[in-house]
Amino acid sequence: MNCNTPTDIVFSFTGFATRAGRTGEHTDGFGIAFFEGSGVRLFVDHQAALDSPVAELVKNYPIKSCNVIAHIRKATQGPVMLANCHPFQRELWGSYWVFAHNGNLVDFQPEQRDRYLPVGTTDSERAFCFLLNELRRRFPQRPALPELTTALREITPGIARHGTFNYMLSDGTALFAHCSTALSYIVRQYPFATAELRDEDMKVDFSAVTTPKDRVAVIVTEPLTTNETWTAFAPGELKVFVEGEPQAM
């Protein structure tokens, strides 16, 4: 989720978490990261989001944030353990960066520069460290958003050719989303309507909880609602969202 006003994610997370067992098979851990200014709250659990007390907290404590990345894990590489739960977090250029991956990378064993090293044993964390090492190698300081986006579009295909590489990446100011096989987004803005979850019998009337200037983008592998129009990414497409809007770059 990427927004122009701090927004809670209780509605979307409730539908999403249901896929961790009831309407999906992503039961090997979960995680969610909320940016709050330059800080991050990162909750991870090796339990399924449907059972985890940590997920229960997230559903009941409406943390407001402009950038949230959530993940429910179906283990492909690396055992079920805390160090293998997404999102992963590192500091680059004096900011925290958060990353989550949907997919599977085969034979992706890059020689890692030693600046960012994986702690766990997933292909995903290896890919995240590789991305950060490459960005840091190209830019000693944070570049402007267009340069950063171009760099990610150059680095990503070399990883994606190893398999499926849908990912989300954020530093709390922008959210980068790359589609390898499946990714859709929606921008909710004035006039707001009612949305109905696909995975739970739950509706929310956004007009009752928003102001006319609010704008919220939600990006997800499978659309979360049944009565809204989601836009599918093209395979290989990398979009960047700022303040609830996909950027033309």
| Site stretch for its own copies (CB under 8 A), options 88-96, 155-163, 202-210, 213-221 | 88-96
Residue 109 in contact with its own copies, rule: CB under 8 A? no
Nearest Cα residue to 233 out of 132, 135, 173, 160: 160
Residue 246 in contact with its own copies, rule: CB under 8 A? no
Residue 47 in contact with its own copies, rule: CB under 8 A? no
Residue 54 in contact with its own copies, rule: CB under 8 A? yes
Q: Which helix (H) or strand (E) holds 33?
A: strand 30-36
Q: How would you write the chain as a 3-class SS string?
A: CEEEEEEECHHHHHHHHHCECCCCECCCCEEEEEEECCEEEEEEECCCCCCCHHHHHHHHCCCEEEEEEEEECCCCCCCCCHHHCCCEEEEECCEEEEEEEEEEECCCCCCCCCCCCCCCCCHHHHHHHHHHHHHHHHCCCCCCHHHHHHHHHHHHHHHHCCEEEEEEEECCCCEEEECCCCCEEEEEECCCCEEEECCCCCEEEHHHCCCCCCEEEEEECCCCECCCCCEECCCCCEEEEECCEECCC
* Contact yes or no for 88/128 (Cβ under 8 A): yes
* Residues binding its own copies: number (CB under 8 A): 36
Taking CB under 8 A as the criterion, the residue among 93, 139, 145, 173 binding its own copies is 93
Residue 114 in contact with its own copies, rule: CB under 8 A? yes
Q: In what order do the strands lie in the sheet with 30-36?
A: 39-45, 30-36, 64-72, 2-8, 215-220, 184-189, 231-232
Residue 60 in contact with its own copies, rule: CB under 8 A? yes
Nearer to its own copies among residue 119 and residue 193 (C-beta): 119
Nearer to its own copies among residue 24 and residue 118 (C-beta): 118
Residue 191 in contact with its own copies, rule: CB under 8 A? no
In the complex, minimum distance from the CB of residue 82 to its own copies, in angstroms, rounded to a whole number:
3
Taking CB under 8 A as the criterion, the residue among 75, 81, 151, 242 binding its own copies is 81
Taking CB under 8 A as the criterion, the residue among 25, 57, 138, 247 binding its own copies is 57
Taking CB under 8 A as the criterion, the residue among 86, 90, 126, 215 binding its own copies is 90
In the complex, minimum distance from the CB of residue 144 to its own copies, in angstroms, rounded to a whole number:
19
In the complex, minimum distance from the CB of residue 119 to its own copies, in angstroms, rounded to a whole number:
5
Residue 115 in contact with its own copies, rule: CB under 8 A? yes
In the complex, minimum distance from the CB of residue 37 to its own copies, in angstroms, rounded to a whole number:
6
Residue 139 in contact with its own copies, rule: CB under 8 A? no
**Rule CB under 8 A: which residues touch its own copies?**
36-46, 53-54, 57, 60-61, 81-85, 89-91, 93-96, 114-120, 140
